[in-house]
Amino acid sequence: AQYSDSSDNVVFGMTLDGLDANELDVASIAGPTMATVPVKVTIDSNHTVGDFLGGIINQANAMGPFKHFGLQNIRGVCPDAAKACNFQSLLAIHPIRNEHKRISSLLGEPVKTHNSSSTYLLEVECRRISSLLGEPVKTHNSSSTYLLEVECQINETGTAMIAQYDELTTSTPQMTRILQQLIAQYDELITSTPQMTRILQQFEHVTRQLVAEGATTMQLKDIQFHSPQDAMDIASWNRSLPPLLDTCVHDVISGHAKARPDSTAVCSWDESLSYRELDELSTTFAHHLVKSFNIGPESLVPLLFSKSAWAVVAMVAVLKAGAGYVPMDPSHPPSRLKEIVDATQASVILCSPENDPLSRSLARASFVISRKTMENSLITEDYIHTYVKPNNVAYVIFTSGSTGVPKGIVVEHEAFCTAASEHGKRTNLNTDSRVIHFSSYAFEACILEILTTLFNGGCVCVAPEDQRLEDIAKTMRDLHVNWAFFTPSFIRTIRPDQVPELKTLVLGGEALGVDNIDVWVDHCYLINGYGPSETIVFSIINEHVRRGTTPDSIGRPVGGTCWIVDPEDHSKLAPLGCIGELLIEGPTLARGYLNDADRTGKAFVQNPKLVSQSVDNERQNTNGCVTNGHADGYANGNIGGKLANGSASRPARGRMYKTGDLVRYDGKLANSSASRPARGRMYKTGDLVRYDCSGNADGAILFVGRKDGQVKIRGQRMELGDIEHHLKSHLKIIQHIAIEQVDLEKRNNRYLAAFFSFGSPTLPQLGEGETPTIPMSSDLKALIVAAEAKLSEALPMKNTSKKTPRDRRSIVRK
């Protein structure tokens, strides 16, 4: 169940040799007695081990009279039975009939017994099958039916465990209480040698818990599925975090202005600004914002700009005023923009001249940032100090919400600075970088293109709005761009020969494709980036993309640590190689959601048990490891790697006093308003991932999919519930609706398909060659562009069959 991404059901095939009947009955049968049947095991985590095993025994007994019914007959019973017969894992169980046959004669050599020096009761070593079994064993070829085959041989005197794959096998010392011999044969093209080794370690670890004294009363949810080796590896990967940078974004930009005043900060179609000019202009506008609009720390200022150098000036000005800026896309529906402005409770919107009328309709005041504003000499106020602190808000980015209301993600200065520093190191973004500003202001990538670039001393290259979409390659050549971020779907519109100066290409926002790698890997430094807005653009980076790299390999953490946990219980680690939900820990997390403490509390979990349970030993020598809690108790742990005095009643190591204070990694006291300790705060991404166990264990992560109804289209994060909400509110003719993300045949892009039924029992009548049209409001048309519409007599709904999502997608693909 752990490996099949199913927490409560698992289906596998089981082959029985029929020798459980009495000897006379078996001898009278003319022909083979072996039979293979599908087995479905339902797992209820609240059941005890005794009840679970008892249920399996009862199920096996009930299955006995029908085991020779045959797979071909079972397939015809019902659709679910036919689906169950498509199992890819096989378990073969049969007894060893010769009581005097020793395991040593079966294996061709003696089996070593368990000793106290072993970490596990069951240890694995690899040998060639030809030397172990005396003859070769066929593997990944046409004669192999299943991806994984496991054989159990019941032996009265004890057994060994053998993992057999391709032409290798792994044998182990006997357990102190060995119950059976296990042979696992698998296709190394599907399951690697290291992963098979981990599976056997995990199997042994779980089996040991099931047969332990008193295990029958233990609940299944209390079983630990990850092995001790898994825990050790995860602890080593998550040993430390980068220091939290105690600084503000604009201070770093001003530092570049002092160190390199004439270096270009912004190269745009309308203005070219050096770092000195950017610093001076933003300071002037910041003073005006403070005096005229009473802007200060924790204030929020929406920005409504077309692509322009002055949008960058406005961002830095807001930061210097102590406030946080809120980027908005003027092409979005006014109703959507109004929801954002209302959520921020903003007193003023900063905008470009062409967006001034729209801004005035959204807020009480609007202020234009432009060269003309400066030339009018309207802002000549004296210097005003704003007392901005690193834990004040820097920006708020709004994304789609499942209820139809956009949610604002609040990011602080220190969190962004930490992320920007780490991103610069891992993506070669530095003072020599010329970065194209391409993304919409509503897309978190604009933060990377602008603010991260300025933080690292690079140049922001701004394309005019029309060229941005029509001929971005030409713009990149004209601006001498050498660093770019695009979504995998958009980069397919550009050829490497069109952008010869491009040195670094970062792809993210959606799944990477094999074609992306093949086209670009030989022409530039290709990077695959992953990260939700709550973790500041990127939380995982694969900077080692090569030809042949698996597209779903998103790499290793950047700016924090990653935990892969049970999707139903974030306090339990998932076994290495198994699919689990991704949790991200570190100083680069957002503060939370604007005006939504309930949603923040659900998404950002505090001090999950898995941290202390899994990595305490690995962190004993790590500086800055603290525990946050009440000042009247002690807890197991360590601080600064120092030893504490011990006694006979308490260990010298691992006992610590919980002060209740929040501290930074440099030992400074943190402002309590941030309300987050240095370690233990994690963001639940809702994404399903697993560790890549195909080679040397280095903590690399593979992306699998989503837990919920969130999707990404052309890099934009969308909630399916949000889309359903707007469709229902704007299309009154809809009775039922379902949204699916689909991949169309022979097309590289992913699409959203809306399936809905009309209130009328009859379909609209269409003329020959006529295409149905769907009435939509202007607001909805601005968000959703319908590429095609089809009519169907029937629409399967989710609650009628488990197959209906696939059936709905098939309608679109036809």
More confident residue, 392 or 800: 392
3-state secondary structure 697-750: CCCCEEEEEECCCEEEECCEEEEHHHHHHHHHHHCCCEEEEEEEEEECCCCCCE
Confidence of residue 198 (pLDDT cuts 50, 70, 90): confident
Please check whether residue 430 is in contact with residue 455, taking contact to mean a CB–CB distance below 8 angstroms: no
Confidence of residue 465 (pLDDT cuts 50, 70, 90): confident
pLDDT over 90 at 176, yes or no: no
In whole angstroms, what is the distance from residue 358 CA to residue 366 CA? 9
In whole angstroms, what is the distance from residue 724 CA to residue 729 CA? 9
Task: Tell the burial category of 631 from Cβ atoms under 10 Å away from its Cβ (0-12, 13-18, 19+).
Answer: exposed
The amino acid that residue 690 corresponds to is R
Q: Which residues pair with 434 in a beta bridge?
A: 459
Q: Which pLDDT value is given to residue 28? A: 61
| Average of per-residue pLDDT across 189-199 | 75
Helices (H), 64-210: 71-74, 79-84, 103-107, 129-133, 193-210
Domain boundary among 198, 223, 248: 223
Q: Which pLDDT value is given to residue 43? A: 86
Q: Which pLDDT value is given to residue 593? A: 97
pLDDT in tens, 221-259: 888 888 888 888 998 898 888 999 999 999 999 999 999
pLDDT over 80 at 17, yes or no: no
The phi, psi pair for 236, rounded to 5°, reads -70, -35
In-domain check, residue 487: no
Tell me which of 241-255, 593-607, 633-647, 792-806 is least confident.
Answer: 633-647
Q: Which pLDDT value is given to residue 141? A: 45
pLDDT in tens, 617-638: 444 433 333 333 333 333 333 3
| Average of per-residue pLDDT across 42-47 | 88
In-domain check, residue 13: yes
pLDDT over 90 at 103, yes or no: no
pLDDT > 70 fraction of the chain, expressed in percent and rounded: 62
pLDDT over 50 at 300, yes or no: yes
Q: Which pLDDT value is given to residue 269? A: 92
Q: Give the chain's domain count.
A: 2
Q: Which pLDDT value is given to residue 293? A: 92
Confidence of residue 437 (pLDDT cuts 50, 70, 90): very high
Q: Which pLDDT value is given to residue 171? A: 31
Tokens representing 544? 């080692």
Q: Which pLDDT value is given to residue 726? A: 60
pLDDT over 60 at 530, yes or no: yes
Tell me which of 187-191, 205-209, 229-233 is least confident.
Answer: 187-191
The parent domain of residue 796 ranges over 731-813
| Average of per-residue pLDDT across 168-184 | 37
More confident residue, 192 or 81: 81
Tell me which of 128-137, 150-159, 675-684, 779-788 is least confident.
Answer: 128-137
Tokens representing 670? 């943190």
Nearest to 105 by CA among 160, 47, 37: 160
In-domain check, residue 240: no
In-domain check, residue 173: yes
pLDDT in tens, 687-736: 999 999 877 668 899 999 888 655 555 545 555 655 665 666 655 555 55
Confidence of residue 744 (pLDDT cuts 50, 70, 90): low
Please check whether residue 354 is in contact with residue 332, taking contact to mean a CB–CB distance below 8 angstroms: no
CA angle 736, 742, 747 (to 5 degrees): 145
| Average of per-residue pLDDT across 609-623 | 52
Domain boundary among 157, 192, 223: 223
Mean per-residue pLDDT of the chain: 75
In-domain check, residue 379: no
CA distances from 173 to 95, 112, 165, 667, 753 (A): 20, 5, 19, 49, 55
In-domain check, residue 750: yes
Tokens representing 594? 């604007």
Residue with tokens 């002055």: 310
Q: Which residues pair with 445 in a beta bridge?
A: none
| Average of per-residue pLDDT across 166-189 | 43
In-domain check, residue 690: no
| Average of per-residue pLDDT across 561-568 | 91
In whole angstroms, what is the distance from residue 718 CA to residue 784 CA? 12
pLDDT over 70 at 322, yes or no: yes
CATH number of the domain residue 56 falls in:
3.30.559
Q: Which pLDDT value is given to residue 320? A: 96
Nearest to 484 by CA among 543, 531, 428: 428
In whole angstroms, what is the distance from residue 206 CA to residue 335 CA? 55
Q: Which pLDDT value is given to residue 617? A: 44
Structure pTM? 0.73
Q: Which pLDDT value is given to residue 693? A: 84
Q: Which pLDDT value is given to residue 122? A: 31
Q: Which residues pair with 60 in a beta bridge?
A: none
| Average of per-residue pLDDT across 379-392 | 76
Q: Which pLDDT value is given to residue 161? A: 40
How crowded is residue 63: how many other Cβ atoms within 10 Å of its Cβ? 14
| Average of per-residue pLDDT across 192-209 | 81
Confidence of residue 86 (pLDDT cuts 50, 70, 90): confident
In whole angstroms, what is the distance from residue 732 CA to residue 742 CA? 25
Q: Which pLDDT value is given to residue 92? A: 73
Highest mean pLDDT among 21-25, 454-458, 574-578: 454-458
Q: Count the helices and strands in the chain (H runs, E runs).
A: 26, 36
Highest mean pLDDT among 37-41, 157-161, 412-416, 739-743: 412-416
Tokens representing 205? 């670890």
Tokens representing 574? 């998932």
DSSP state of 524: S
pLDDT over 70 at 581, yes or no: yes
Tell me which of 69-73, 785-789, 797-801 is least confident.
Answer: 797-801
In-domain check, residue 67: yes
Tell me which of 101-105, 527-531, 774-778 is least confident.
Answer: 101-105
Domain boundary among 194, 223, 252: 223
DSSP state of 389: -
